[in-house]
Amino acid sequence: MKCPHPVAMFRFLLVFSLLLSPLSCGGGATEAAGAGHPFLWRINTEPPSYLYGTLHIPDQRILQLHPDVEAATTSCDALYIEVSMEESDVMRMIQTKFLPEGRTLRDYLSDSLYQRVDQFLRRSGASMADFERMQIWALAANLTLLEGPTLHPAREAVDVYLYRTARARGKEVGGIETLDEQIGVFEAFNQEEQIRQLEFTLQQMEEYEPGKSYLEELIQSYLSGEDEQIMELFDIYDESDPLWRKFKKLLLTDRNLRMAERVAEKLKQNPGKAHFFAFGAAHLTGADGVPELLRAYGFDAERLHAP
């Protein structure tokens, strides 16, 4: 069976790691102008509301917000990201990545796969002892993050920064999806599917071209502001494989539809209120992205500062 393109696999893992990577804390945005072509859409409400495409990686360059993004977050009345970042929700997120009490990865992985992962981790200065109680999907997600020299664990992902800042300013904040819905995506993949995910990820990590970083490629594509680059990176799936069709449906298609419906609902129920919605950039691009889907609900969203 054909193995999925490594970037497609990476896209899948970055979405899963939404429950992991944004939990880092400290740091914040700088005064730099940031990318000149942000993934920013203005919705035709009065006052205007906005959609902003993010990348769930705690990298300082992503935290350097464009002035128009800063202005929109300052002027908005309510800010929503994909899922709530309240303390109780964050604790539940953390708990989802661990196996049931008394179980370890040795109970689920073959000896050969366990040893392969351990050898890879040791080359990165870690070992399976550090990940022994993680869910299989969480281990796979962490493998991709180990190769990222651009990651800054002491900083936070932009979604968390926006949420934290808006709350400090007394604005309404929340998640457009429930935590149970996000957890449900994890639970939709059985043990066999998660092991395949881990095997594919490990293979790609082992075969990395020396000096090449998919994280850096992803960050550069995001900073370019090019829809086509984002879609190319995020939409390379092996459509002949039922598992990868399932990934795409659960992680993008279904969630885009849900996001668009709930964005429209909030806009209609709160006329006169300015909203700012920050979702992963992959949810906003293309014909099936949230901006296009909003048209069915009577809203037009115009991309600002497009390249």
* pLDDT category of residue 2 using cuts at 50, 70 and 90: very low
Cβ-proximal residues to 17 (8 Å cutoff; 6+ apart), any chain = 56, 141, 142, 144, 145
Is 125 within a domain? no
Q: At residue 225, what are phi and psi to the nearest 5 degrees? A: 75, 10
Terminal C-alpha separation, the chain: 38
Task: Name, in order, each residue with C-beta under 8 angstroms of 203's C-beta and a sequence gap of 6 or more.
Answer: 3
The whole domain housing 272 covers 6-98+134-304
Domain presence at residue 268: yes
7-65 pLDDT tens trace: 444 444 444 443 333 444 444 444 443 467 899 999 999 999 999 999 888 888 888 99
Q: CA-to-CA distance for 26 and 34, rounded, in angstroms?
A: 19
Residue 236 is predicted with a pLDDT of 52
- Residue 252 sits at φ, ψ, to 5 deg, of -120, -65
Tokens read off for 27 = 């740091």
Residue-level pLDDT at 220: 85
Q: Is 103 contained in some domain? A: no
Sheet of strand 172-177: strand arrangement: 172-177, 78-83, 275-280, 49-54, 40-43, 301-304
Tens digits of residue pLDDT in 104-119: 999 999 999 999 999 9
**Residue 185 located in a structural domain:** yes
Q: What are phi and psi of 131, to 5 degrees?
A: -125, 10
pLDDT bin (cut points 50, 70, 90) of residue 237 is low
HSE toward the beta carbon, residue 50, CA cutoff 13 A = 21
The answer as to whether 105 is a domain residue is: no
Domains of the chain: total:
1
> What's the mean pLDDT in 189-201?
91
Q: What are the DSSP E strand ranges found in 107-196? A: 172-177
The better pLDDT of the pair 42, 222 is held by 42
- Confidence (pLDDT) at 294: 98
In a domain, residue 128? The reply is no
Task: Give the contacts of 24 (CB within 8 A, at least 6 positions apart).
Answer: 58, 152, 153, 154, 155, 156, 157
SS3 174: strand
Q: What is the pLDDT of residue 73?
A: 97
- Over 60: is that where the pLDDT of 132 sits? yes
Q: Which amino acid is at 181?
A: E
Q: Do 79 and 278 touch, CB atoms closer than 8 A?
A: yes
